[in-house]
A and B are shown apart, each in its own frame.
Chain A
Amino acid sequence: MNKIKNVAKRLLGKESPKPYVIDSVARTSSGYCIVGWYATNSVKRVGIIEQAGSPIASDVTNIERPDVVAATGKAAKGFQLVCNTSLDISEIQFVASCTDGNDIKVALTLRGEIQPVKGIDSTTIDFDKVASSDTKGSFEYALFIDNYLYVAGWLLDGGKAQRLEANVKKAKLIDTTIIRYTRQDVVNAFASEKTNTINSGLLLVAKYDSTLLLNSAKELTLTFELEGENKEISTHQVFNAKKEPMINAQRLLNAWQAHSPSQLAKADMFIPILDKMYSANIKPSVRRLDFGTAPSTPKVSMVIPLYGRIDFMRYQLSNFERFLDKTLVEVIYVLDDPKLVNETTKLAREMSQIVTMPFSVLMLGKNVGFGRANNIGVEHAKGDTLLLLNSDILPKTHQWLEKLLESAEKDDVGIVGSRLLFEDETLQHDGMAPMTVSEYPGLLFNDHPRKGWPLQLAPFTENESPCTLLTAACWMIKKSDFEAVGGFDPMYILGDFEDSDLCLKIEEIGKTNVIRRDVELYHLERQSQNLVEPGRWKHNITVINAIKYNKKWKSKLSAMEEKL
Chain B
Amino acid sequence: MKKIIFISHGHPELSKGGAEVASWNLYKLLKEQGYNCLYIARTDGASHGGSTFSSRGEEVLFHTGMSDWFNLSTSHLKPLFTDLNELIAQFSPDVVHLHHYAHMGIELFPAIRKAAPKAKIVFTLHEFMAMCMHNGQMVKRETLKLCNKALPADCHKCFPSHSPGDFFLRKNYVLDQFSYVDEFVSPSDFLAKRYVEWGLPAEKVHVIENVLPNLEPAKPRVLNHGEKRTKLAFFGQVNPYKGLDILLKAISLLPEEVKEQIQLDIHGANLDIQTSEFKEKVEALLDDVADIVDLRGPYESEQLPSRMAECDWVVIPSIWWENSPVVIQEAIHLGRPLIGSNIGGMKEKIDGIAGLTFEARSAASLASTIVKAIEPEVFDYWHAKLANEQPAIDQHLKFINQLCNNQEV
Residues of A within 8 A of B (CB): 47, 54-58, 97, 312, 314-315, 318-319, 321-322, 346, 350, 353-355, 392, 394, 423-424, 522, 524, 527
Chain B residues within 8 Å of A57, by CB: 160-161
B152 touches A423 (CB 8 A): yes
Complex CA gap A392/B77 in Å reads 25
Q: Which of A97, A315, A424 has the most CB of B within 10 A?
A: A315
Residues of B within 8 A of A55 (CB): 157, 160
A319 to B165, CA, bound (A): 15
- B72-110 contacts to A (CB < 8 Å): 73, 75, 77, 81, 107, 110
* A394–B160 touching, CB < 8 Å: no
Interface window among B172-180, B210-218, B240-248, B306-314: B172-180
Within B300-331, the residues touching A (CB, 8 Å) are none
Cβ-defined contact, B107 with A322, below 8 A: no
Question: Provided the pairs A54-B157, A424-B152, A527-B163 are in contact, do residues A322 and B168 lie with their beta carbons within 8 angstroms?
Answer: no
Closest to B179 in A: A322
Shortest distance in angstroms between A321's beta carbon and chain B's nearest beta carbon?
Answer: 7
Q: Is B153 an interface residue (CB 8 A)?
A: yes
CA distance A319 to B176 in the complex (A): 6
Q: Looking across the interface, which residue of chain A has its beta carbon closest to that of B153?
A: A424
Inter-chain CA distance A57–B168, complex, in Å, is 18
Is A97 a contact partner of B142 (Cβ separation < 8 A)? yes
- When distances are taken between beta carbons in the complex, the residues of chain A under 8 Å from B160 are 47, 55-58
A56 vs B160: C-alpha distance when bound (angstroms): 7
In the complex, what's the smallest C-beta–C-beta distance from A145 to chain B, in angstroms? Answer: 36
Give the nearest-CB partner of A349 in chain B.
B77
Q: How large is the interface on B (under 10, 10 to 19, 20 to 34, 35 or more residues)?
A: 20 to 34
A524 — which chain B residues lie within 8 A by C-beta?
163, 165, 168-169
B77 cross-chain contacts in A, Cβ below 8 A: 350, 353-354
In the assembly, what is the distance between CA of A524 and CA of B162, in Å?
13
* Complex CA distance for A189 and B176, rounded to whole angstroms: 58
Distance, CA A315 to CA B174, complexed state (A): 9
Report if B268 contacts A (CB, 8 A). Answer: no
B286 CB to closest chain A CB (Å) equals 21
Among A346, A353, A423, contact of B165 (Cβ-Cβ < 8 Å):
A423
Q: List 11 A-B contacts (CB under 8 A).
A: A57-B161, A58-B160, A314-B73, A314-B173, A315-B169, A321-B176, A322-B176, A353-B81, A354-B77, A394-B168, A424-B152
In the docked arrangement, what's the CA distance between A542 and B124, Å?
51
B interface residues, Cβ below 8 angstroms from A: 71, 73, 75, 77, 81, 107, 110, 142, 151-153, 156-157, 160-161, 163-165, 167-169, 172-173, 176-177, 179
CA distance A97 to B157 in the complex (A): 14
Closest to B81 in A: A353
- In the complex, are the beta carbons of A354 and B157 less than 8 A apart? no
A315 touches B172 (CB 8 A): yes
Contacts of A54 in B (CB 8 A): 156-157
Give B174's nearest chain A residue, CB to CB. A318
Closest chain B residue to A423 by CB distance?
Answer: B168
Give the docked Cα–Cα distance between A423 and B170 (Å).
12
Inter-subunit contact A314/B110 (CB<8 Å): no
B170 to chain A, nearest CB (A): 8
Q: Please, which residue of chain B has its CB at the minimum distance from the CB of A56? A: B160
**CA–CA, A346 and B76, complex, Å:** 12
Nearest-neighbor residue (CB-CB) of B164 within chain A: A423
How far apart are A422's CB and chain B's nearest CB, in angstroms? 8
Contact A312 B169, beta carbon cutoff 8 Å: yes
A534 to chain B: closest CB distance in Å? 14
Shortest CB-to-CB span from B182 to chain A, Å, is 15
**Are the CB atoms of A394 and B172 closer together than 8 Å?**
yes
Q: Is B169's CB under 8 angstroms from A354's CB? A: no
Q: B172: which A residues are within 8 A, CB to CB?
A: 315, 318-319, 394
Interfacial chain B residues near A315, Cβ < 8 Å: 169, 172-173
Q: How far is the CB of B121 from chain A (nearest CB, A)?
A: 15
When distances are taken between beta carbons in the complex, the residues of chain B under 8 Å from A392 are 165
Inter-chain contacts of B157 with A (CB < 8 A): 54-55
B279 CB → nearest A CB, Å: 16
Q: What 16 new A-B contacts, CB under 8 Å, besides A346-B75, A392-B165, A423-B165?
A: A314-B73, A315-B169, A315-B173, A318-B173, A319-B172, A319-B176, A322-B179, A354-B77, A355-B110, A423-B152, A423-B164, A423-B168, A424-B153, A522-B168, A524-B163, A527-B165
**Residue of B153, B157, B160 with highest tally of chain A CB at under 10 A:** B160
A97 to chain B, nearest CB (A): 7
Q: Is the CB of B161 within 8 A of A394?
A: no
Which residues of chain B are within 8 angstroms of A522 by Cβ–Cβ distance? 168
A57 to B177 alpha-carbon distance, docked (Å): 29
A176 to B172, CA, bound (A): 55
List the 5 closest pairs (A to B, CB-CB), nearest first. A524-B165, A423-B168, A318-B176, A55-B160, A315-B169
Report how far A199 CA is from B71 CA in the complex, Å: 53
Interface centre among B107, B151, B157, B165 (most CB of A within 10 A): B165
| Most chain B beta carbons < 10 A, residue from A55, A353, A527 | A353
Residue of B nearest to A54 (CB): B157
- Cα of A355 to Cα of B179 in the assembled complex, Å: 13
Known: A54-B157, A322-B176, A354-B77. A424 touches B163 (CB 8 A): no
Q: How far is the CA of A57 from the CA of B158 in the complex (A)?
A: 11
Give the docked Cα–Cα distance between A414 and B260 (Å): 85
Contacts of A354 in B (CB 8 A): 77, 81, 107, 110
B110: chain A residues at CB < 8 Å are 354-355
Q: Bound state CA distance, A392 and B163, in angstroms?
A: 13
A-chain residues with CB within 8 Å of residue B163 when the two chains form the complex: 524, 527
Chain A residues within 8 Å of B75, by CB:
346, 350
Bound: A424/B167 CA distance, A: 11
Give CA–CA (A68, B336) in the complex, Å: 55
State in angstroms the CA–CA spacing of A97 and B81 once bound together: 46
Bound CA–CA A47/B153 (angstroms)? 18
In the bound complex, CA of A394 to CA of B163 (Å): 16
Q: Which residue of A lies closest to B109 (CB)?
A: A354
Q: Which residues of B contact A350 (CB under 8 A)?
A: 75, 77
Alpha-carbon gap, A55 to B162, bound state (A):
11
Is B169 within 8 A of A424, CB to CB?
no
Cβ of B358 to closest chain A Cβ, rounded Å? 23
Q: Which of A57, A318, A322 has the most CB of B within 10 A?
A: A318
